[in-house]
Structure formats: structure tokens, C-alpha cells
Amino acid sequence: MRGQFRIPAHMPPSGPAPSEPEDDAERFVNRPCYEFNSRLLGAWNDRHCSHCRYYLTARCPHIDEFLDDVDDLSPE
């Protein structure tokens, strides 16, 4: 289902979507849906998607963006 945006139950509807950060390194940081994975050490809670409970799961509202990044790395 590429191209469709799913709103998970944990993310309430909000106003307009935030603009994309210009720095690619900041693209997956401090998202409003971020929820720290409590199975990790608390010191790792840096608000990066890779430490989120929903990272690379069907519950992640941004899973298509992660998958698009992986597609870009595949050999041709």
C-alpha cells in the first residue's frame, strides 16, 4: 500500500503536517508519534525513530518512508 498514510490508534488527529526538516539526519528525529521503547536503556532515549516502540512495525505511521529509503539502497 505504498503512497497511503495510515493513522495509528496511538496518534490523535492534529493540524497541518510539520514541514520536512532540511537536514536528512534530522528527518527521523522528534516525531510527534515517537514513543520510547522501554525495553531499551533509558539513556538511549534521544527521540530518534530507531529507539521508538513503533520503529519498523506496522504500527509506525512513517513505515513507508523507511521502506522507501531501503529501496533506494538496493543494487540495480
Angle at 74 between CA 36 and CA 47, to 5 degrees: 15
Span 16-73, pLDDT tens digits: 555 554 567 788 899 999 999 999 999 999 999 999 999 999 999 988 888 875 555 5
User: Do 51 and 23 meet the contact criterion of CB atoms below 8 Å apart?
Assistant: no
d(CA 22, CA 49): 17
pTM of the complete model: 0.55
Domain ranges of the chain: 28-73
d(CA 52, CA 36): 5
**Listed residue (52, 76, 51, 55) closest to 65, CA to CA:** 55
pLDDT value of position 3: 58
pLDDT value of position 49: 93
Query: Which residue's C-alpha cell is 519498523?
Result: 56
Span 1-13, pLDDT tens digits: 555 555 555 554 5
